[in-house]
Amino acid sequence: MNIEEYRNFCIAKPGVTEGFPFDNRTLVFKVMGKMFALTNIEDFDGINLKCDPNKAIELREKHEGITSGYHMSKKHWNTVSTTSDVPDKTIYHLINHSYELVVSKLPKKIKKELKSLS
């Protein structure tokens, strides 16, 4: 996976915006204002993704390229290496999981607004 494929995949989802809220290197994707994915655009060697805590542990045990979230909550975020044993198909699945996890926690009113964007 390259950064263009990653960006195109994330930005195509309903309600998603992109920006650089932290610095000019960290590209952040948000759904309805809530962060679900971020990466360093200068080296694109990993993506931080939100993850169910139980699934996060399981993934870290299964893949050398999945570790606890760098500069994030270690319980709720994973860093997924883009240059390791994690197949692109799995990375896309984990992006979807992160997006869906964030959407599931949105207030009903915001979910309804998101649904109207689909």
pTM of the entire predicted model: 0.94
Token pair in block for residue 92? 């896309």
The CATH number for 60's domain is: 3.90.1150.30
Distance CA 33, CA 17 (A): 8
Q: pLDDT averaged over consecutive 10-residue blocks of the chain (118 residues)?
A: 96 98 97 97 95 93 91 88 93 97 96 90
pLDDT computed for residue 74 by the predictor:
79
Residues composing the chain: 118
- Does 116 reside within a domain? no
pLDDT computed for residue 49 by the predictor:
97
Question: Which residues touch 92 (CB under 8 Å, ≥6 apart)?
Answer: 1, 9
- Does 17 reside within a domain? yes
Name the DSSP letter for residue 5.
Answer: H
Distance CA 72, CA 22 (A): 13
Q: Quote the number of domains for the chain.
A: 1
pLDDT computed for residue 73 by the predictor:
81
- Does 70 reside within a domain? yes
CA 89 to chain centre: 14
pLDDT computed for residue 72 by the predictor:
83
- Does 88 reside within a domain? yes
Name the DSSP letter for residue 20.
Answer: -
Domain with 47 in it: 3-106
Q: Is the torsion defined by CA of 104, 6, 23, 76 positive or negative?
A: positive
Distance CA 72, CA 35 (A): 11
